[in-house]
Chain A
């Protein structure tokens, strides 16, 4: 079929060349243009002769039973044969998406791959603001002084009262922090030395979906499941189209996701098996295809495995969903989980215990020993960073693009897998915009970055109106016009927002565009405003 198409195409070209040649010859004889076109026509003629011969060879090979779609029997290399980068062998039979757009910010201070089990935090917190879509004042079911086990319910939202939020560790509730307008900011627990979990009766292997959902809601593991669009806590009344899990993180200085699963592969597999029972559709695993060896998640079964190669944000689950099967409202609603949420669900079903145990990266050029530590969700950052001298720095829960500056008194966010320490950039720089003497990252060729460097929080410029230089498109590996979408959000144009793909995006997906923005616009804030508006519109 393909060969016949090529043959007709070749004949058409022949005709076209013939006509062009004649009309030009009539127009102006004897000039350079005429000879140029004649030369071109000659080349096209030879090309066509060779192509026709080539086609007959391919047809011949097809007739002798060689599948032309798989093996290239023609003379010309296919485009992907010419330009494909050298892929490691483990990807040969796999399904790989190679993303060209994006940017890895070359930051110093990546965490070393050994896991420190000595550093222990004593205070842990669960913070209602980590979960999008809740009311500001949830119903707190514990009081200061109460003793809780890991998995005991500590609060729930009054409107979504089926979803129970659980204590990340066992211990004593020592503080309930309140913020503006008496909103609950954090429930702080002083952890026991020996962690105990609440006891569970796990549903049978053939339990119905609704039993399973009830169990997850009641157990406290449910809030780890998030729903797209909007990135809110998953709606228990809804059956998602598919479930997506990204098993790697490409953010600057991100934690090594291979460490998260070390020794816990069975739990991860159990978690994936449970997810399969929650959807009629498919469970997709986004796997890291950048390394030379297969990711440890490759041996997980009962999931559709998709490899992603390329710079940040290739590891964002939103980018992966966009390439695998875009999310949307209604029947296109999907759920996403991170590795730690899958592990929590897996442990629950495998061992009948609730644990938020996770490996967290302590990273940043300001740290003496950037490393990974084993801890639980909501650990106090100051205790994790004990022994480091921190002056004029910003301590983030999360990465430099999406993290929140909570300081050493703050706690690790529920979904965060890293702590980043950055130097504050509150130094003026003489002609800093013209002569960038201090190292800084940029996607612009006018500021070359030769090696990894220690970034600061300086804004490198002031906020301006949007200027279109297509920088966003350069770092967004999605078929979405980010800038136009932002403008549509600012003027509340619902139809345009929908058409331009607002449902596919959450803050972390546009974070890199916000980083590169020459006008220093707060894209993540604008996007969240738009998502909130769309949510209110229903």
Chain B
């Protein structure tokens, strides 16, 4: 290991070449925990650092990547009517998914990390790890056929204006991954609104060039697979003009309620996530596994997640209460949407993904433990209102999280004010008690188990 370290150290560029040195430093500290020692202050340090913190979120996302890759292929083949069984043509589906996901992943990291490295060199600090998580999240919230140019523009927007403009990792106000998503959402509304399904390889307005652009890759794999005697893509690798189109569960629910959703999708499909959607946000059980992992390892704060779940159920139950008891054909769609059972609301759409991975971002969420409860609750509460009651947006979490990101400092401000007031009040109560004790000093035995005195204070546990 010493030899490897020395070998890597040989390539260290000169400090004057800033960009080269920052880039080298980023890769070097990735490969090795550097031999730096503490100087001043504490002499030993906790083993946790920002890299380790961030990489655990990436780990929690891995199952979603695997599932998402397969699901892209699966939805594609189901739409063209081939290999409709879950495990039929498994290899083809995974390869098809990889052909879609890998370019998205690579573009995300090349653009995002490139900008990070550039700014780190310009500002003369080392590359911070924030983009490790953003870069892992962004592909999962994109439609599988997203044109790579759009993606690159969106990421550049999010990283430059959303993060570097504020001073880099740790300083940003809004969640970077969601900024990229919101950019695409508002820049290309006809394609990305989320009321129509996203199935890879089906031509849609605006994406027709990109759906067919991987034909050469499919042909190449066909050549390999036929050589090995395996099933080939054949027609399945081509883009399909006028293929299957349909509405997403939320698109249907907004018009026809749960009855309409049930006519197209089964409850099981929605729960397990074998439905079209963004790459990584469809499968409820896998997201819940990630959620539990993040909460148990305390990487994400449970307060945001639990607060969010509470807010979601409160909002959903309120809507249930408002909705009329009898839903006829003349009932407006919004009432039918409101009447959907909270657990079904929870399964549809991407609430769980958003509250687990987006809302818990430690930089853009509220800082204080109390603030985090409020922040999580309001995200869910407002998000569900946007989802159900606003006809323009089929889904609400992106907007509600960005809205609460904006208000998180305000929430914290009031928590800090309350803390200052509480501590002042506690101190003055203690002062009063102290005066009383001093005047009665000698007559009574103060502060033991028999005396009537209990010390004032809320931080200690008196037992």
Q: Which residues of A contact B (CB under 8 A)?
A: 23-24, 26-29, 31-33, 80, 84, 87, 92-100, 105, 241-242, 280-282, 304, 306, 322-326, 328, 332, 394, 396, 400-403, 405, 420, 422, 424-434, 436, 440-447, 455-462, 464-471, 473, 477-481, 483-484, 496, 499-501, 511, 514-520, 522-525
Contact = CB atoms under 8 A, between A and B. Distances in A.
A322 B51 CA distance: 35
A518 B44 contact: no
B50 A461 contact: yes
Contact of B169 (A431, A462, A464, A477): A464
A93 B367 contact: no
Nearest to B441: A282
Interface in B191-243: none
B43 interface: yes
Contacts of B189: none
Interface stretch (B30-38, B148-156, B350-358): B30-38
B27 interface: no
B21 interface: no
Contact of A436 (B41, B47, B320, B321): B47
B46 interface: yes
Number of contact residues on B: which range applies? 35 or more
Contacts of A324: 430, 455, 457
Given A94-B449, A446-B299, A500 B416 contact: yes
Contacts of A467: 50, 53, 169-170, 362-363
Contacts of A462: 29, 34, 36, 49, 126
Contact of A424 (B37, B431, B463): B37
Contacts, number: 282
Residue among B296, B367, B417 facing the most chain A CB atoms (10 A cut-off): B367
Interface stretch (B178-186, B379-387, B419-427): B419-427
Nearest to B342: A33
Interface of B: 1, 4-5, 29, 31-38, 40-53, 55-56, 126, 128-129, 167-171, 296-299, 301, 317, 320-321, 323, 325, 339, 341-342, 362-363, 365, 367-369, 372, 412, 415-417, 419-420, 422-423, 426-427, 430-431, 434, 437-438, 446-450, 455, 457-463
Contacts of A403: 43
A517 B412 CA distance: 20
Contacts of A402: 42
A438 to B, nearest CB: 9
B49 A96 contact: no
A430 B28 CA distance: 10
A131 to B, nearest CB: 19
Chain A interface, >50% SS class: loop
Given A94-B449, A465-B171, A322 B32 contact: no
Contact of A96 (B171, B417, B430, B463): B463
A401 B43 contact: yes
28 contacts: A23-B321, A27-B321, A29-B325, A32-B341, A33-B342, A95-B447, A428-B32, A428-B34, A428-B35, A429-B32, A430-B33, A431-B32, A431-B33, A433-B51, A433-B52, A442-B46, A446-B48, A460-B48, A460-B49, A461-B52, A464-B49, A470-B367, A481-B367, A484-B367, A484-B416, A511-B42, A515-B44, A517-B46
Contact of B48 (A32, A80, A444): A444
Nearest to A28: B325
Given A281-B434, A328-B427, A483 B367 contact: yes
Contacts of A80: 461, 463
B48 A457 contact: no
Given A28-B320, A444-B46, 14 more contacts: A28-B321, A28-B339, A94-B448, A97-B462, A100-B461, A306-B447, A426-B37, A430-B33, A431-B33, A444-B298, A445-B297, A459-B34, A515-B42, A522-B41
Contacts of A425: 35, 37
A36 B317 CA distance: 13
Residue among B37, B128, B167 facing the most chain A CB atoms (10 A cut-off): B37
A525 B415 CA distance: 26
A525 B369 contact: no
